[in-house]
Amino acid sequence: MTTRLFGEPVQRKEDPRLLTGQGRYVDDLGRDALVAAFVRSPHAHARIRDIDVSAALDVEGLVAIYTWEDLPERVGRPLPLLIPHPALTHGRTAHPLAKDVVRHVGEPVVMVVATDRYLAEDACALIEVDYEPLKPVVGLEEAAHGATLVHEDVPGNVGAHLVQEVPSPAGLGAREVIEAAPHTLAFRLDIERSASMPLEGRGVHARWDGTDLRVHSSTQTSTSVRMAVAAALDLPLPHVEVIAPDVGGGFGVKIVHPWPEEVLVPWAAMVLGREVKWTEDRREHFIASAHERGQVQHVRVGFDDDGRVLGLDVTILHDHGAYTPYGIIVPIITSTQLLGPYKIGAYRVEFTAVYTNTVQVTPYRGAGRPQGVFCMERTMDKIAQYLGKDRADVRETNFIRPDEFPYDQGMIFQDGRPLIYDSGDYPRMLRLLKDLIGWDDFQPGANRGIGLGCYVEGTGVGPYEGGHVQITSDGRVHVSTGLTSQGQGHETVFAQIAATELGVPIERVSVVTGDTRRFGYAVGTFASRAAVVSGNAIALACRKVREKALRIAADALEADPSDLDIADGLVHVVGAPTASIPLSTVAVLANPLRYAFDEETARATQFAAPAAPDRPPVAEGEEPGLEGRDYYSPIRSTFAAGMHAAIVETDPLTAEIRVVRYAVVHDCGRLINPMIVEGQIHGGVAQGIGGALYERMVYDEHGQLVNASFMDFLMPYATEIPPIETAHLETPSPLNPLGVKGAGEAGVIPVSAVIAAAIEDAEGIEINRMPISPSELWELRG
C-alpha cells in the first residue's frame, strides 16, 4: 500500500458518512433545547415607535421575549466592524436587535424563546410593532443621488471611497494615456445582486453550565466566533468553546461573524440556564442573510492597433446594502483582481461603496472577482470587435509572459500586501483552452456562439493557520486545524498531506476541523485558502513529528536518523527494510510512563529497559508524546489562474439560452487531489451558470424582496448544466513549502463574462448587463 498520496485522486473520506445520513449538523443538536424565533422588520426603512408584547404572553410554552431594551449594554451595542480600512470612512453595523430604526426588510427586532419553534413563531405573530415608515433607498443610482439617507449621519450614503492608480512606465496617469491612445472606447456595465443558497441555513446552539459556554454554529470561522462571543458576553476566552459541526455549505455567507443570533442565542442560554437553539428557515435566509454582486461600472480604455491596452480607467459604484460588517473587501477585490492575467499600460480604478435599504453585502463565492472579470473580459471583447481581431489573439497580446514572474501589478490587495503574482503560464493556458473547446474550428451560425474569459485569483491570504499532529500508541495519526469545513473535502486533503509526510496509510489518519477545543487559533475558511494555509501548516507540523520519530527510532535501532525512512507506518533503515520499528512503538517510546495500561504501553514504563543514568527520561527541550504543532503565515497571497470557454445556443423564437459545451483550464499550483479540484470546478461552474442566467435578488421601490422563495428565485437544475471538460496546468507557487494555490472559487469567477461573450457572438447584440433572462434577451433583439 502506497503512502505517497499527494497528487492522487483519493476518494473522499467524508462521503460515506455524509451520503448515508450520518452527518451531524447544528439542527441535529439540542433535542430538548429551548428554541428561539425572531420578529423581523416588514419594512425596508422605518422608525420603531413602540413594541407591544402583551398578546404573546399567554402563549403556552413561552419562556422569554427580548427587545433591544432588554439587552445588557455590552450585548446590545452595534456588532463589530470586522475589517476596518482607512477608506471606509463611515462604516456602520447593526445592533443584534434593532434599536430605534430598521434599515432593511428582515432585520431582527424581537427575539422569542419557547419550548419549541412552533410556539415561538406563534408568539412572534402576536407581537405588535408600531413602525413609522421612512422613505427607503433602493438601487445604486438612488443611493448615489443622496436625497434620502440610509443612515442619518452618513452624507450622501457614501460609506467608502478609494482610488488606486498605477502609472504607465513613462510615469503618465491612465487618463492621460487614454486621451493620447490611437483608439478609445467608453461604456457602462452592470452586475445585479445575487446571493448564496447553501443547503443548510445558518444555525446556533448554546449550552451554559454556569462556568463554561459551549456554542455550536454553522459557521466558516469557529475561532473568530469564539472571540466575538467572549467579547460580547464578557467571558474569559478559555471559558468559551465554539464548534462547527458538519456544515451544509457556506459560500461566504457564513464567514460573517458574529451574526446577531450568534450573540443572542448564547446570551439567552446564560440568562435562562437552559440550552437554546435557533435554525434559520429559508425565508429568513433570503431576507436576513448577506447578499453580493451588485455593481455599476463605467469603463474607459485606450489601446493600439494590435489591441494592446495602453490605459484603463474604471469607476465602480458598489451596493453595500444597509451595513458594512465585513468592511470593503468585496470592492477592493473587484478593483484589484480586475487586472487578470494582463499587463495594463496604466490603470486607474475608483470605487464608491454606498448604503441602500437592502440586506447587507458581504463576500459570496468569488467575492468581487466575477464583477472584476466581467469588466476586464468585456473590455477585451469590445477591443477585439472594434479592431476586427480574434478575441483570443487580443488577450494573448496583453498577457504577462511566463518569464516575467514574479509580476508586480503595483497595487495593494485585500490582505494589505502587494499584488504580486507568484507564478503562471497564461499563453500555454490559452492554447490548452482553445484546443479543449475547439476555438479555431468553431463555425458560428445563427443563434450559436462561443465565448471565453480569463482570470487570476488571489488565494491563500493570511495572516496564518495552524496544524497539530499527534501519533498515538495504536499507530493512528490525529490531525487538527482551526479552520472549518463546509464540504470542500478537507478531511481527505489534509489526510493526504499527513499520510504523505509521515509515510502512513491514509486509513490511519483522522482529521478534525473547526473545533476550538482541539485548536484554538485560526482565521477561517474563505478566499480559497484552506489548502494553502492550513495545508502547509499541517505539513510543517508533520515534519516536526517525523523528525522526532526518526530521532527516537534511531536510538531504538542503533542507527543514524539520516539513514532512516518511514513507509506504511514503519520506520526502517534505508536499504534494510527488515531493520524496522512500527510508528506505534515509536509513539510509545516517546512517552515515558510510570504505569502500564496494556502490553504496548508496558514497553515505555520505567523498568522496561535499562535507564540512561546521565539524561532524564524526557530530553531537555522536548515534550512527551509523538506530536507537533506548527503555523504557516504567508508573506503574501498565491495567485491561481484559469480560463473558461463556452458554446451557447439561443432559441430564435423564445430567446431561451442553452449552454451546449463548457471547458475549463485551471492552474492551482501542485494538485493535492485532482478529483476534489475537479469537483470544486464543476460545482463552481454550475454556480456561475446560475449567476449568469438565473439567480438574482429583485427589490421593488419599497425595498421589498419580491422573489424571496424558491418559487421565484431561480437556480439551475442538473439539466441546465452541460458536461464540463477540464484540463489542469501546474505552475507551483514558490511562496509555500507545498507549492500549492487555492481552487475553491475558481469555477464560478469568469462564468458571467464567458456566457455574455457567447450570447453576444450568437446574437450580434451587445451584452453589458448580467444576469440575463430570455425575456431580457428578447427585448434586446428589439
Give residues with Cβ within 8 angstroms of 667, minimum separation 6.
424, 425, 429, 640, 641, 642, 728, 729, 730, 731, 741
Regions of the chain with pLDDT less than 70:
1-3
pLDDT for 165: 97
What's residue 368's pLDDT? 96
d(CA 30, CA 266): 13
Q: Is the peptide bond before 258 cis (omega within 30 degrees of 0)?
A: yes
**What confidence tens digit (pLDDT) does each residue in 409-431 have?**
999 999 999 999 999 999 999 99
The alpha carbon torsion through 408, 413, 417, 418 (nearest 10 deg) reads 10
**Cα Rg of the chain, angstroms:** 28
| Closest C-alpha to 299, from 334, 333, 264, 267 | 334
| Amino acid found at 133 | P
Q: Is 690 helix (H, G, I), strand (E, B) or coil?
A: helix
Quote the distance between the C-alpha of residue 672 and its chain's center: 19
User: Cβ–Cβ contacts within 10 Å for residue 416, how many?
Assistant: 13
Q: Are strands 108-114 and 62-66 parallel, antiparallel or unpaired?
A: antiparallel
Burial of 715 (0-12, 13-18, 19+ CB in 10 A): middle
Classified as helix, coil or strand, 450 is strand
Residue whose cell numbers read 421565484:
712
Beta bridge partners of 631: 466
User: What is the residue whose three cell numbers read 464583477?
Assistant: 371
pLDDT of residue 230: 98
The C-alpha cell at 595 is 504505569
Model pLDDT, residue 265: 98
Alpha-carbon span 339 to 156, nearest angstrom? 29
d(CA 697, CA 480): 38
How far is Cα 572 from Cα 444, in angstroms, rounded to an integer? Answer: 63
Verify cis geometry, omega within 30 degrees of 0, for the bond prior to 266.
no
Compute CA distances 381 → 185, 641, 757, whole Å: 12, 19, 7
Q: What pLDDT does 415 receive?
A: 92
Q: Which residues contact 285 (CB under 8 A, 6 or more apart)?
A: 197, 201, 202
Question: Is the link from the previous residue into 245 a cis peptide, with omega within 30 of 0?
Answer: no
| DSSP code string of 394-423 | HHHHHBPPGGG-SEEEEEE-TTSSEEEE--
**What are residue 658's DSSP bridge partners?**
649
pTM comes to: 0.96
Element (H, E) at 110: strand 108-114
> Cis before residue 771, ω within 30 degrees of 0?
yes
Instruction: Give the pairing of strands 34-40 and 276-279.
Output: parallel
Q: How far apart are CA 757 and CA 450, in angstroms?
A: 7
Calpha distance 648→666 (Å, rounded): 21
Q: Nearest Cα to 245, choosing from 267, 268, 225, 265?
A: 225
Question: What does the pLDDT read at residue 425?
Answer: 98
Based on DSSP, count helices (H) and strands (E) in the chain, helices before strands.
18, 29
Residues 6 or more apart in contact with residue 344 via CB below 8 angstroms = 166, 309, 311, 312, 398
User: Do β-strands 657-667 and 724-728 pair in parallel, antiparallel, or remain unpaired?
Assistant: parallel
pLDDT at 681: 96
At how many degrees (to 10) do helices 391-398 and 369-387 cross? 110
Query: In one letter, which amino acid is 345?
Result: G
Q: Which three cell numbers stand for residue 360?
A: 447587507
